Every structure is written in structure tokens, then in C-alpha cells.
A = this chain, B = another copy of it.
Amino acid sequence: MNITVEIGKLKLKNPILTASGTFGYGQEFEDFFDPSILGAIITKGTTLEPREGNNYPRMAETSAGMLNAVGLQNKGVHYFINEILPAIAKYQTNIIVNVAGNAVEDYVETVSLLNNIDRVDAVELNVSCPNVKHGGMQFGTNYDLLKELLQKVRKTYNKTLIVKLSPNVTKIEDFALLCQDEHADAITVANTYLGMAIDINTMKTKLATITGGLSGPAIKPITLRMVYQCAQVVNIPIIASGGIISWQDAIEYLLAGASAVQIGTANFINPSISQDILHGIEQYLLQKNIKNIKEIIGAMKSN
């Protein structure tokens, strides 16, 4: 059985990735399973300068989902390169750095630093973080801004470039096409949905930032639809991210046209879920007698 997939210049031994911000740097999960079995690890959102993130409270539980407003807390790209990367370089899998920024220049400087680092196999451009005042989602919801960003980043970064789109838009296909036109190697569909929750006893918002990003099974039907829509218009690979908690969910995304999937919030409920999902997919292919996983990518039929 062949379950390898290609994302740009990357060969993934399997289509299971862990989503940015939900898997730390892999180390937190070492007691539960070996991150080396993954197709790739995607790091927490990384910015040029260190960031403290938002005030507490940063999360709230919702029906089949959670809101988060972490706000890109991280120690900056230099710390990542010098302190974190050496510790995780041992994983025998691809390391993808999720990059965020306030301004186009931040992104460009960050990716240019990463461009020279061997062990960083790809960059996932986060233009869709709903939890920071400046930067983040503004790029992912504004066609012209995104275009400018992509052009400058693409000039600077030669390795595999993945763009993580925002689902908070009217027509995600337009953004997908833009990424393809501007030579991104792949797109991730999608980040979290802007949402909120209120504590009716205190009458206060549950998040310090008022709004935050909704993730988890609740959003799966919407993101699945977006993956399907994007798959109808672009040729570059699509990486799905949204509400996957079982191998069945992962298969749905592959059938809708995703070449790989990211496991996000589910890591919090079962830290070895990625391993379970990987095995579930293998079983499914075996049972359906499918020799190559590529046969099911985009294989969905109409009713």
C-alpha cells in the first residue's frame, strides 16, 4: 500500500500532519507516541519578534468545539532556530514552520531567515489568525493585501510554501486561485472561524479578546465544503484542517480533494489520536483494496 503524498517539493510518508498551535513542537507528545511517524509536524505560529500573546482567559468550550484566543504567543523566529529546532531536529519527519506577522516586512524577514535553515522543510504562511489585532486575518480576508504578501514572500522563500487560508470569507476559491497564481506550492484550508461566547452570569465575554477562533468537530462540515470548492478550481495540493477527530473525518477530507490532513483540537482530547487516525486510514484502504491513497483523493461521487 502506498500512502505517500507530495506537497510541493516535500514527500510526506503519509498524509497525517499536526496542526499549528495544537501540537506544541512535538515534544509535549513524546510520552504518547513518536512524532516521527507523522507526515509532518507544523510548529506553533512563529513571528519575527517574541510575543506574549493575549490576556487570560484565552479559551472557552462550545458545542463540539472550542474558542481560542492565544494570540500567537511564541518566542520569535531566532529563538525557534537556535533553541527549539535543535531539540526537535531528531524527528524523522518534515518540519513545517507556521509563520505569522504584523506587516508584510515581518513575514518576509521571517521566511528569509528560515529559507537558509536545512531542517525547516517548508513554511506554512498563516494569513488567517483571527486572534491578533494587527496582522493575521487581515491578509487572509483581503485579496489585494494577500496578493502583495504572496508576491514578496515568494521572491524570498524558495522552498515549499504553503498558505493557510482563512475560512472567514465569502468565496474561498478566489483566495485559493490567488495562491496558485502567485506560485504557492499548496494551500491549507482552513484556519479557525471567528466566534465568541458570553458568560451569562457575569454578563462578560468569555475571552479577554471578545472574539476568538472556533475549532473542533463543529466546524467540519463548513471546512469540508471549502476544501471541496477549492479542489474544483486549483491544481496545487490542498491540506485540510478543520474538526478532524477520527480517521473517518480524515477520509471525508481526502475524498473531497485534500492531499493531506492536519489534526488540531483533537490532540487535546487524545494526545495519540494522529497515530490512531493513521492506522484507521490504512485499515480503510486495506478493506477497500485501494493500493494507492491517491486513488481516493478527490474521488467523491455525487449522490
Residues of A within 8 A of B (CB): 55, 57, 62-65, 67, 141, 168-171, 193-198, 200, 202-208, 210-211, 214, 216-222, 224-225, 228, 243, 248, 251-252, 255-256, 284, 296, 299-303
A220–B218 alpha-carbon span in the complex (Å): 10
With a cutoff of 8 Å between Cβ atoms, the chain B residues found around residue A206 in the complex are 303
The answer on a CB contact under 8 Å between A208 and B63 is no
CB distance from A219 to the nearest CB of B (A): 7
In the complex, which of the residues B64, B65, B216, B303 contacts A57, with contact meaning CB atoms closer than 8 Å?
Answer: B303
Instruction: State whether A205 and B302 are in contact (beta carbons under 8 Å apart), knowing that A198-B256, A225-B196, A256-B198 are contacts in the complex.
Output: yes
- Asked whether, in the complex, the Cβ of B300 is within 8 Å of the Cβ of A194, the reply is no
| A64 contacts B217, C-beta separation under 8 Å | yes
Given the complex, which residues of B lie within 8 Å of A217, measured CB to CB?
Answer: 62-64, 218
Bound: A168/B300 CA distance, A:
24
* A195 and B222 contacting across the interface, CB-CB below 8 Å: yes
A71–B198 alpha-carbon span in the complex (Å): 33
A117 to chain B, nearest CB (A): 35
Q: How many Å lie between the Cα of A211 and that of B208 in the bound state?
A: 35
The complex places the Cα of A204 from the Cα of B301 at a distance, in Å, of 5
Give the interface centre of A202, A210, A219 by most chain B CB atoms within 10 Å. A219
Q: Whose C-beta in chain B lies nearest to the C-beta of A143?
A: B170
A-B contact pairs, 9 of them (CB 8 A): A63-B216, A64-B65, A193-B221, A197-B221, A200-B284, A204-B302, A204-B303, A205-B302, A207-B303
Does A300 lie within 8 Å of B214, measured CB to CB? no
Name A216's closest neighbour in chain B (CB-CB).
B63
Closest to A221 in B: B195
Apart from A57-B303, A63-B220, A168-B170, what 14 extra A-B contacts exist at CB < 8 Å? A62-B221, A141-B171, A193-B221, A196-B221, A196-B225, A198-B224, A198-B300, A200-B251, A200-B284, A203-B296, A203-B301, A205-B300, A214-B221, A218-B219
